[in-house]
């Protein structure tokens, strides 16, 4: 089975740039999607297919994917960005989620 590895937690100062990584074997060859989940709420898609933003997602959210690492970047971090973030890929008729990263905005 395919595994995705995310750091358990990431901290960022208010207004600075946060990066959340998602590691997987040759993940650069796959389409990676990112979700934001706040406590008690359903996940929300924030980046799809590596680096595309759905309608309504701020430009501060961006993504990249190469080699064995995909990255979600949040520029000018705001208090409202504090949440859990999950990466997601499809592999051999299964959906795979990373373990999730808790983003703390200091």
Give the nearest distance from C-beta 47 to other proteins in angstroms. 9
Answer left, alpha or beta for residue 44, where phi above 0 means left and psi between -120 and 50 means alpha: beta
Stretch in the footprint of other proteins (CB under 8 A) among 9-17, 18-26, 30-38, 68-76 = 30-38
Residue 86 interacts with other proteins (CB under 8 A): yes or no: yes
Residue among 13 and 71 whose Cβ is closer to other proteins: 71
Interaction of residue 39 with other proteins, rule CB under 8 A = no
Q: List the one residue from 19, 23, 28, 44 that touches other proteins (CB under 8 A).
A: 44
d(CA 90, CA 31): 7
> Which range binds other proteins by CB under 8 A, 19-27, 46-54, 66-74, 75-83?
46-54
Residue with tokens 């297919």: 49
Question: What token pair was written down for 62?
Answer: 């961006």
> CA 90, 5, 99: angle at the middle one, nearest 5?
80
């Amino acid at each position: 089975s395919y595994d995705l590895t995310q750091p358990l937690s990431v901290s960022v100062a208010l207004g600075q740039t946060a990066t959340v990584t998602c590691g997987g074997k040759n993940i650069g060859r796959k389409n990676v999607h990112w979700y934001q989940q706040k406590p008690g709420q359903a996940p929300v898609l924030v980046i799809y297919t590596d680096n595309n933003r759905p309608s309504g997602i701020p430009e501060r959210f961006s993504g990249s994917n190469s080699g064995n690492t995909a990255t979600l970047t949040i520029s000018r971090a705001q208090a409202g960005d504090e949440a859990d973030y999950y990466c997601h890929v499809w592999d051999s008729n299964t959906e795979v989620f990373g373990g999730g990263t808790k983003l703390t905005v200091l």
